[in-house]
Amino acid sequence: MNGKIGMKFNVIWMRLSVIASLAILSACSISAEFEEAFPDQRDVDYKSSRVETDLSVPPDLSAPSKDNVLAIPDEQVSTAVRSSYGGQSLQTNQATQVIQANNRVLPEQPGIRYIRNGGMAWLVLQGNVEQVWDKIREFWLKNGFLLKIDNPSTGIMETDWMVNRADIPKDFIQGMLSKISDGIYSSSTMDKYRIRLEKGEAPGTTELYITHRGLEEKREGTGIEQEGTYWEARPSDPGLEAEMLRQMMVFIGIENVRARRLLAQPEQLPPKARMAKDGDGNNRLIVDDSFNRAWRYVGLALDRVGFSVEDRDRSRGIYTVRYNDPTEGKKEGGFLSSLAFWKSDEEKPGSRLFMINVRSDGVKSQVVVQDKDGNRDRSKTATRILTLLHEQLK
């Protein structure tokens, strides 16, 4: 009798296993069909992320936090949300109270615009900078982001480096193991975002610019002789920028369908920048727009290229930047030059300070590169800087 019961139990168990397997295969098929139907949709999932290894970071980039846990605040768990705002750490419920206490109501957005100009894109929102600032800051905090820069006076906020868990391969085994332990698999990429808010040209509007910067994990050595890993900068990803803008639009009350339509059909502006030479044969960048607009364009282009902006003086039209030209010093020297151990470290190529000067030229503007003393820089590096800016502005 017991043997028959055991056999029946085994049969039932086998049938359930087959049904479960078919269900999993069906789910995988549906997921594949969905991704095929929406190939341009970018997945982002920055919650519950953690940097597991101590990796070296390029010198011009700030190191990611080792305890970079980015769980979305849960109603049942009081999770600490760190923020540079006020120089203190806030508990989730305390952060929410501060947001609600300081929140300036953002008006509805029937006239929201998404504009693209070359490699740059931005939103035009209804409301003043203070209203938009509060709402965007609330977006970051409620989605578990850490803010490394939170400066309303400059209109700039920047997140910490974060691991995008959507980049982790999604096969069945890894999916099951990730449910057991979140740290078994980690992504090989990290992202950070910078938001710049500017007063719009139309009264009562604000322009919102977003810049993505990324890191990619690289391995030293080959095969079994791998010595470790390090982070290497990767290009800005317009797809991720667009996805974050979509999420922001939905957060402030725009319907998801409308947000996607705006991103798919941006207002295109004609090219407004070109390279030219002055009477002395020096390179310069001509921007077919007013100083106010050219100043914003150049600032955003510097963010996108990844320049380290040391200072900005709008009254003089000067961005002071630090730049390390990767092509400088590449020319191979002779045998004697390789033995020139007497040369000081200061003579070796490295990052240098440059002044990017934006000046009004009638109805247009021009951009030139100066050295740290304010003199016109005619070096190949200065030309390369103008070329990099032109690639973003053209």
User: For the domain that residue 100 is a member of, what is the CATH number?
Assistant: 3.30.530.50
| Domain of residue 319, CATH code | 3.30.310.170
- Same domain, residue pair 317 and 366: yes
pLDDT in tens, 298-344: 998 998 888 888 898 999 999 999 988 776 655 444 444 444 433 44
What pLDDT, on a 0 to 100 scale, did the predictor assign at position 260? 96
Tokens read off for 70: 């980015």
Answering whether pTM is above 0.85, one says: no
Paired sense of beta strands 228-234 and 267-268, if any: unpaired
Q: Do 165 and 250 belong to one domain? A: yes
Residue corresponding to tokens 């989730």: 92
- 227/306 same-domain check: no
Q: Is residue 317 part of a domain?
A: yes
Specify if 65 maps to a domain.
no
218 in the same domain as 365:
no
Whether 285 and 239 map to the same domain: the answer is no
pLDDT of residue 12: 59
For residue 53, what pLDDT is reported? Answer: 39
- Let me know if residue 63 belongs to a domain: no
- Beta-bridged to residue 371, according to DSSP, are 354
Domain count, the chain: 2
- Copy the structure tokens of residue 333: 């020297």
Do residues 309 and 219 both lie within one domain?
Answer: no
User: Based on the domain organization, do 195 and 221 belong to the same domain?
Assistant: yes
User: For residue 21, what pLDDT is reported?
Assistant: 56
- Among 242, 268, 294, where does a domain finish? 268
Domain interval for residue 292? 273-327+348-393
CA separation for the pair 171, 163 (Å, rounded): 19
CA-CA distance, 87 to 121, in Å (whole number)? 31
Residue 54 lies in a domain: no
> Of 222, 245, 268, which residue sits at a domain end?
268
pLDDT at 125: 95
3 state SS of 202: coil
The pair of structure tokens assigned to 173 is: 């085994």
- Relative to beta strand 189-199, strand 162-163 is antiparallel
Say if 342 falls within a structural domain. Answer: no
Cβ(95)–Cβ(80) below 8 Å: no
Residues 114 and 224 grouped into a single domain? yes
Distance between start and end Cα atoms, the chain: 83
Q: Three-class SS of residue 270?
A: coil
- Asked which of 268, 285, 317 is the last residue of a domain, the reply is 268
152 shares a domain with 105: yes
* Cα–Cα distance list, 138 to 144, 210, 303 (Å): 10, 16, 23
What was the pLDDT predicted at 119? Answer: 74
Residue 119: how many other CB atoms lie within 10 Å = 15
260 and 145 share a domain? yes
The answer to whether residues 291 and 248 belong to one domain is: no
Residue 214 contacts residue 233 (beta carbons within 8 Å): yes
Which residues of the chain, if any, have pLDDT below 50?
Answer: 26-27, 29-40, 48-101, 172-174, 176-185, 331-348
Decide if 60 is inside a domain: no
